[in-house]
Amino acid sequence: MARRKIALIGAGNIGGELANLAVSRQLGDVVLFDIPSKENFAKGKALDLEQATSLTGADARVLGTSNWEDCAGADVLIITAGIPRKPGQSRDDLVAVNLPIIRDVADAAKKHCPDAFVIVISNPLDAMVYEFKRRTNAPAEKVVGMAGVLDSARFALFLAQEAGASIKDVRPMVLGGHGDDMVPLLSYTTINGLPVRQLLGKDVLTKLVDRTRKGGGEIVSLMGTSAYYAPAAAAIAMAEAYLGDQKRLLPCAAYLQGQYGCRDLYIGVPVIIGKGGVERIVEVELDEEEKGMLKKSVDSVQKVVDVVKAAG
């Protein structure tokens, strides 16, 4: 069987770690794409990663490029093109600078990679993935946003630490937009099936929910730029679910057409990812408090999407 092709658009912090994980997990050959002024940087990272394969034994090629033709026929496209946050910025502050970038990427992706499963990471996530889908008119099942897997991973870590439990046993679920209004679902979060509300007190959980919501900002304020190891690992889990037809149930930004009371919007919800892409959007009952939180989060996303739409 021919090797799969993973095209990474943006060879920065997340792009580099995506490439590293894709190679080490042997998902396929990797193309690390960036703009012409960063082409040598992309080539250098690619060469460095390829040289590492002589030590890890991974059979995968890595190509650095600024030529979209090198991405042609990609099976998976992961987009990190754009500018990350700086301390004090919200993800929504990035909309003006990242909108023209996602539009450029969408036009090129439509031309060169029409059949790819596309995972958008660029922020503000829910609006950027919406714009990618709108601009390319790609099928909804082939375009997803990476947010819930990362937000859930952050929530899981905090829960595991607080409960003194193994990270392996935490089953978190965070829905909604990828912003400070995201919705960690306590009613569906368990430690190996045991409801987390029975294991940790209300005040502790409130604190952990708050830390999860601000989890990205916490790292930005420590590093001066945004996170990349966990975001890359989250997107790779989604890519692997697609490439391996794993049917994993993961919270992802999916295009909603009536589900959860939303229409024509990308919002983080539980989905099944397999070889068909987003094979199913799973609707679950939410309690009144969660419904209210989700509504607030959806309203925040809608405001940013309105800004995107108003820009043409």
User: Which residues would be at the binding site for ligand APR (CB under 6 A)?
Assistant: 9-15, 33-35, 38, 80-85, 94, 98, 101, 104-105, 121-123, 225-226, 228, 231
In angstroms, give the least distance from the CB of 217 to ligand APR.
Answer: 11
Is 112 designated active site?
A: no
Q: Do residues 64 and 47 lie in contact, with contact meaning Cβ atoms separated by under 8 Å?
A: yes
In angstroms, give the least distance from the CB of 178 to ligand APR.
Answer: 9
- How many Å from the N-terminal Cα to the C-terminal Cα in the chain? 43
Q: Which two tokens mark 300?
A: 């925040």
In angstroms, give the least distance from the CB of 77 to ligand APR.
Answer: 11
Q: Considering 178, 191, 226, 298, which one is annotated as catalytic? A: 178
Name the residue nearer to ligand APR (CB basis): 7 or 191. Answer: 7
Name the residue nearer to ligand APR (CB basis): 176 or 231. Answer: 231
Greatest pairwise CA separation for the chain in angstroms = 55
Name the residue nearer to ligand APR (CB basis): 215 or 274. Answer: 215
Other C-beta atoms closer than 10 Å to the C-beta of 246 total 16
Other C-beta atoms closer than 10 Å to the C-beta of 87 total 11
User: What's the CA gap between 82 and 154, in Å, rounded?
Assistant: 23
User: What's the CA gap between 70 and 191, in Å, rounded?
Assistant: 44
- Taking CB atoms, the residue at the shortest distance from ligand APR is 12
CA distances from 308 to 14, 47, 192, 267 (A): 24, 37, 41, 15
Q: Which of helix, strand or coil describes residue 154? A: helix
In angstroms, give the least distance from the CB of 119 to ligand APR.
Answer: 11
In angstroms, give the least distance from the CB of 252 to ligand APR.
Answer: 15
Name the residue nearer to ligand APR (CB basis): 189 or 226. Answer: 226
User: What's the CA gap between 176 and 184, in Å, rounded?
Assistant: 8
Tokens 């007190």: give the residue: 201
Name the residue nearer to ligand APR (CB basis): 160 or 233. Answer: 233
**Residues with catalytic function:** 178
